[in-house]
Amino acid sequence: MWRSLSVLLVFLAHAICRPPTQDDVAALFDASFISESPANNWTIDYDRKLAEFALDFAAAAYSKDPTPCLAKNNATLIRRVQVPCDYIDDQCWAFVARSEEWIIFAVRGTKTKLQLITELVESMTAPKMTFPAGGSVQRYFYSALQSLWKAGFGALLKDLKVEFPKAKMLFTGHSLGGALASLASSMFAYEHPTMAKPDEVFLITFGQPRVGNILYAAAHDKIVPNSWRLVHSHDIVPHLPYCFEDFWTKCTAGRNHTPYHHGTEIWYPEDMNNSSIFRICTAEPINEDASCSNEYYVHFNIIDHLAYLGKDVDLHGTTGCKDTRRAAKKRYYMLSNRTKP
């Protein structure tokens, strides 16, 4: 089942992507479309402990009752909502929580295979939408963010930051939740530039798809420099919607039409245990490092999307962020074996 879904996603990604024009090719190496390296931007280095902290909140977004995960991290739930995401009535679940040091915004990831396919098809067929902070973004993601902002999250985050000015802001999510967290962090930083200083806003996502074009990526890197996109081995979702590649199979700007990641990928090429190796991906193309996960496109699969930092993300959240490593490992290998011929 999961193998068939992986094949379908790859097929749709290639089949629906708009073929490049001559103007696209002429602009591939236009310097005006290249953002500054995030290596010169971030104010702190990647921190595994902070990523584990963020994962608990990203996982908690999958639960109708996120309070056990929040209590584990000495955080309090401020507000939680469920709002429609799309025309097939899929819901976006999101919450805001607060700890002594952090104000946290977390969004649930894709819950069903149908929702994942809907995201992919709509993202690649519907025109992008202009984003206030800069560039253009996938219509599905921006429409979902607008639903959350209309539910009062933008105003709530502002009020909390005013009340707790020394608190840092953490935006997080897995899968679709990562895409919405990316947009939310950019939107908040853009709307409140004096309140949300670059060294106070953090984005940590897990298996995040491409959100917008290269101009959005450049704008995001400027106002939310402390952004870490974790990618587990051959997870296919971070490579969707599909980018336009040059003759050397490197993602390019595609005259600002093609989807393009913002910074900064943290790639775990194998497993994601405490002792696992990882790579901070800052080589060229900027934000689409061809030597990291992009290089292994023939191995992309959906199974690696389910588990991050040694935990089944959905299961981790719905069981209260307890130590579910054995259960997650059992489920992971069970699903992996189903994909074998």
The confidence score (pLDDT) of residue 341 equals 41
| Structural contact between residues 263 and 227, judged by C-beta atoms closer than 8 angstroms | yes
Q: pLDDT tens digits, residue range 141-160?
A: 999 999 999 999 999 999 99
Average pLDDT score over residue span 35-40: 47
| 50-59, 149-158, 182-191, 322-331, range with the lowest pLDDT | 322-331
% of the chain at pLDDT higher than 90: 60
Confidence class for position 110, pLDDT limits 50, 70, 90: confident
Q: Which of 6, 63, 136, 175 is catalytic?
A: 175
What pTM was computed for the model?
0.84
Q: Write the DSSP string, 209-274.
A: PP-B-HHHHHHHHHH--EEEEEEETTBSGGG-SPPPB-TTS-B--GGGTS-B--S-EEEESS--ST
**Active site (annotated) includes residue 304:** no
**Active site (annotated) includes residue 299:** no
Instruction: Enter the tokens of residue 209.
Output: 């798809």
Average pLDDT score over residue span 2-13: 46
Q: Which of 24, 90, 221, 235 is catalytic?
A: 235
Q: pLDDT tens digits, residue range 231-269?
A: 999 999 999 888 887 755 688 887 777 899 998 999 999
pLDDT score of 16 more than 80: no
Q: Which of 232, 261, 262, 305 is catalytic?
A: 305
Confidence class for position 331, pLDDT limits 50, 70, 90: low
Domains recognised in the chain with CATH numbers:
44-339 (3.40.50.1820)
pLDDT score of 296 more than 80: yes
Average pLDDT score over residue span 46-73: 97
**Active site (annotated) includes residue 174:** no
